[in-house]
């Protein structure tokens, strides 16, 4: 059974295969071409916590390929499941579907679910843990925007401590020989359990200015209010890491900015009009990437 | 070595845990809950040893260790030896080993890990490093070392 629990489950060859197929599927994702590749197949979206973006993008991907979706979208809808264990819920849903997308507040849920599920389980985010399709769509975006994945100078900015997307993405890009620049306030630095594993060069910085000119990619994450006991501290820090069009004049012209969205004000709207802004295309890319993965898990072998 | 010790303080039936990392004996008694088991227990600390400078020894009368207890022992003192004594003689010598996957003996320190939240679930850790002990939760990925191990 080919479960997709962690980005580590996918080797570089398989990742490149998915990205290549995703590119071919873009016209289908845009609705310009029709596909019946997953005709008759059912995707079960089991969302034990809400994540509208992830759920809609999976549902769109499935339906563009001719399949259908069942599932539940938020915790209130699962109240009838209260008292039922995750594993019992998964065993039941596996009987109704051909693939399960699981979103759950506890780390390791997808791994546990994969131990009992008779259909492939895709991890749609488990707590502070893995979210492999997010990582795949980030990789796809970088590859499409820059033209390659190998050997890039990658800046990561914002909340690097709690932002799981940057943890998984660093892990993945490390396999493609990236050089990392981690830019964050001291209290939100990249955790050592991530940096300890990196094979390639990395450095930490407190301001974007000192490294901006070197970057091929700048991945921005939101600094959340909840991380700061004092609101004044938050305002000061958030202000210092805000990006606008003027700051970006020092960047390489081909440098691209990614952001997992939704953004609040960490990227000023005047950046949207610049050539650097890749985050809206990145959001769309979730669909073809998830299509490629679903097709690989369930499609007919050619 | 063990024959020698038997001369000093022989036990008729039971278990002698030898070559315990010095200072670890007390912790092993505590984790295995041996002192509350009602049988006679002796703990020898800082006994001179040929192999290493010092070692602890535990003797448990009329009791052999279960597999689960042996696994915990291996995690606490990987180089310990277990001798089963029957009728004053060493009936069996067991070299203990840390299994590649440690199941149901160690608690995951991550409160948000599914293994701490799913009713009826068990814990599983992957052995990363044998010498300076390091294990990893297969669910949440949390890594723990020797000093942070909490037993179930
Ligand atoms: Zn865990």
- pLDDT tens for residues B62-91? 988 888 888 889 888 888 999 999 999 999
Percent of chain A whose predicted confidence (pLDDT) is above 70: 96
Determine whether the interchain pair A85/B110 forms a contact, defined as Cβ–Cβ distance below 8 Å.
Answer: no
Shortest CA gap A129–chain B (Å): 7
The per-residue pLDDT for range A39-70, each reduced to its tens digit, is 999 999 999 998 999 999 999 999 999 999 99
Q: Which of A89, A107, A125 to mutate to test the interface with B (most CBs of B within 10 A)?
A: A107
Question: In the annotation, is A41 catalytic?
Answer: no
Strands B54-61 and B14-20: antiparallel
Question: In the annotation, is A103 catalytic?
Answer: yes
Q: Is the pLDDT of residue A243 over 70?
A: yes
User: Residue B110 C-alpha to ligand 1 middle, in angstroms?
Assistant: 6
Q: Which residue has the higher pLDDT, A229 or A252?
A: A252
- pLDDT for the residue A280: 96
Q: Report helix, strand or coil for A133.
A: helix
Determine whether the interchain pair A109/B115 forms a contact, defined as Cβ–Cβ distance below 8 Å.
Answer: no
The per-residue pLDDT for range B12-66, each reduced to its tens digit, is 999 999 999 888 899 899 888 887 778 888 899 998 887 768 999 999 999 888 8
Shared-domain flag, residues A184 and A126: no
- pLDDT for the residue B5: 52
Residue pair A191/A161 in contact (Cβ under 8 Å)? The answer is yes
Q: Is the pLDDT of residue B8 over 60?
A: no
Shared-domain flag, residues A149 and A181: yes
In a domain? residue A1 = no
Report the complex ipTM.
Answer: 0.89
In a domain? residue A2 = no
Shared-domain flag, residues A27 and A58: yes
CATH number, domain with residue A275: 3.40.50.1370
In a domain? residue A231 = yes
Question: In the annotation, is A164 catalytic?
Answer: no
In a domain? residue A83 = yes
Shared-domain flag, residues A35 and A109: yes
Shared-domain flag, residues A86 and A43: yes
Q: Which domain holds residue A147?
A: 132-282
What average pLDDT does the segment B119-140 reach? 92
- Cα diameter, chain A: 59
- pLDDT for the residue B4: 54
Active-site pick, A41, A104, A131, A143: A131
Question: In the annotation, is A21 catalytic?
Answer: no
Q: Is A115 on the interface with B (CB under 8 A)?
A: no
- pLDDT for the residue A274: 96
Shared-domain flag, residues A57 and A167: no
In this structure, how many other beta carbons lie within 10 angstroms of the beta carbon of residue B100? 9
Partners of A180 in the β-ladder: A154, A202
Shared-domain flag, residues A121 and A151: no
User: Residue B113 C-alpha to ligand 1 middle, in angstroms?
Assistant: 4
Shared-domain flag, residues A94 and A187: no
Residues of chain A numbered 180-239 and touching chain B (CB < 8 Å): 193
Searching chain A, which residue's CA lies closest to the CA of residue B124? A112
In a domain? residue A157 = yes
User: Residue A223 C-alpha to ligand 1 middle, in angstroms?
Assistant: 26
- From chain B, pick out residues whose CB is under 8 angstroms from the CB of A111: 114, 138-139
Q: What is the pTM assigned to this prediction?
A: 0.88
Q: Report helix, strand or coil for B46.
A: strand
Residue pair B55/B19 in contact (Cβ under 8 Å)? The answer is yes
Instruction: Give the confidence band of B7 by pLDDT, cuts at 50, 70, 90.
Output: very low
Shortest CA gap B117–chain A (Å): 8
Shared-domain flag, residues A78 and A185: no
Shared-domain flag, residues A137 and A278: yes
Searching chain B, which residue's CA lies closest to the CA of residue A87? B118
**Range among A26-40, A78-92, B84-98 with highest mean pLDDT value:** A26-40
- From chain B, pick out residues whose CB is under 8 angstroms from the CB of A81: none
In a domain? residue A207 = yes
Q: Is the pLDDT of residue A242 over 70?
A: yes
Shared-domain flag, residues A68 and A141: no
Counting Cα atoms < 13 Å in the Cβ hemisphere of B147 gives 0
What's the total number of domains in chain A? 2
Q: Report helix, strand or coil for A45.
A: strand
Shared-domain flag, residues A36 and A121: yes
Counting Cα atoms < 13 Å in the Cβ hemisphere of A68 gives 4
Residues of chain A numbered 46-105 and touching chain B (CB < 8 Å): 85-87, 104-105
């Amino acid at each position: 059974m080919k479960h997709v629990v962690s980005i580590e489950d996918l080797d570089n060859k398989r990742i490149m295969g998915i990205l290549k197929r995703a590119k071919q599927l873009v016209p289908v994702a845009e609705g310009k071409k029709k596909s019946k590749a997953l005709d008759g197949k059912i995707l079960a979206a089991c969302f034990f916590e809400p994540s509208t973006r992830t759920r809609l993008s999976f549902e769109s991907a499935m339906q563009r390929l001719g399949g259908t979706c069942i599932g539940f979208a938020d915790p209130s809808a699962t109240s009838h499941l209260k008292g039922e264990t995750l594993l019992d819920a998964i065993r039941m849903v596996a009987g109704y579907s051909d693939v399960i997308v699981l979103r759950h507040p506890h780390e390791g849920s997808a791994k546990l679910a994969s131990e009992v599920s008779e259909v492939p389980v895709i991890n749609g985010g488990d707590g502070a843990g893995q979210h492999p399709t997010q990582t795949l769509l980030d990789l796809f975006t970088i590859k499409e925007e820059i033209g390659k994945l190998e050997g890039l100078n990658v800046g990561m900015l914002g909340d690097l401590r709690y932002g799981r997307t940057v943890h998984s993405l660093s892990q993945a890009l490390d396999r493609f020989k990236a050089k990392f620049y981690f830019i964050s306030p001291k209290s939100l630095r990249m955790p050592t359990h991530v940096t300890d594993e990196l094979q390639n060069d990395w450095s930490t910085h407190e301001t974007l200015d000192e490294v901006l000119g070197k970057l091929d990619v700048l991945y921005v994450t939101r600094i959340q209010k909840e991380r700061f006991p004092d609101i004044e501290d938050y305002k000061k820090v958030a202000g210092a890491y805000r990006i606008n069009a003027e700051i970006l004049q020092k960047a390489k012209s081909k440098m691209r900015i990614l952001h997992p969205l939704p953004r609040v004000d960490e990227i000023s709207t005047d950046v949207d009009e610049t050539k650097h802004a890749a985050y809206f295309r990145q959001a769309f890319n979730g669909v073809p990437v998830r299509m490629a993965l679903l097709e690989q898990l369930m499609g007919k072998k050619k | 070595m063990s024959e020698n010790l038997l001369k000093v303080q022989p036990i008729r039936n039971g278990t002698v845990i030898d070559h315990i990392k010095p200072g670890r004996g007390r912790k092993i008694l505590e984790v295995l809950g041996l002192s509350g088991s009602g049988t006679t227990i002796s703990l020898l600390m800082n006994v001179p040893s040929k192999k290493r400078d010092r070692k602890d020894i535990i003797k448990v009368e009329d009791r052999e260790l279960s597999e689960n207890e042996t696994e915990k022992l291996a995690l606490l003192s990987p180089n310990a030896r277990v001798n089963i004594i029957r009728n004053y003689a060493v009936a069996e010598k067991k070299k203990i080993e840390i299994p590649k996957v440690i199941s149901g003996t160690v608690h995951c320190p991550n409160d948000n890990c599914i293994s701490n939240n799913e009713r009826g679930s068990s814990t599983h850790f992957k052995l990363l490093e044998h010498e300076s002990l390091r294990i990893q939760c297969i669910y949440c990925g949390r890594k723990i070392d020797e000093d942070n191990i909490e037993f179930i």
